[in-house]
Amino acid sequence: MKPMPTLWAGLLIQFINETMNKVILIGNVGKEPEIRVAGESKVAQFSLATTERGFTTQSGKKIEDRTEWHNIIAWGGLASLSAYIHKGTTVAVEGKLTYRSYEKDGTTRYITEIIAEKLEIIKDGKTEAGRKDYEPF
């Protein structure tokens, strides 16, 4: 007779049988968002920089800061919120990772994007006030 799985094992098995595509980023907006209309909805696109701080190893080797750039896409109400985002604004983005490709000059190009599901302004890049100019979505 097989032993009954513990509650933890049962939850782990259930979790393994499901998949998740979730990205959470906190960073600084790299350029003014481009907001346009696509069909009946607004869509905004902007770049977001996240930086891993450098450090010095025990042996004295200096590791420099490493900045990664992410392409963020926001639809609907989140695109409207993007009107309050400017270059330098610190934002938190929660969303899903997507990949797409397109042809340009006979060459296939690939792009990675984060489709925002939640977007929060943490600190306005232009003022110290940060959160007082908008209603959160």
DSSP 8-state class, residue 79: H
Q: How far is CA 131 from CA 82, 119, 134, in A?
A: 13, 13, 7
**What predicted TM-score, i.e. pTM, was given to this entire model?**
0.74
Coil, strand, or helix at residue 35?
A: strand
Ranges of H-type helices in 1-137: 7-16, 77-81
State the average pLDDT for the chain: 85
pLDDT digits (tens, 9 = 90+) for 115-124: 999 999 998 8
pLDDT digits (tens, 9 = 90+) for 79-103: 998 889 999 999 999 999 999 999 9
Q: How far is CA 65 from CA 12, 24, 87, 114, 115, in A?
A: 36, 20, 20, 23, 26
pLDDT beyond 50 at 133: no
Class of domain 20-123: mainly beta
pLDDT digits (tens, 9 = 90+) for 7-25: 656 656 666 667 789 999 9
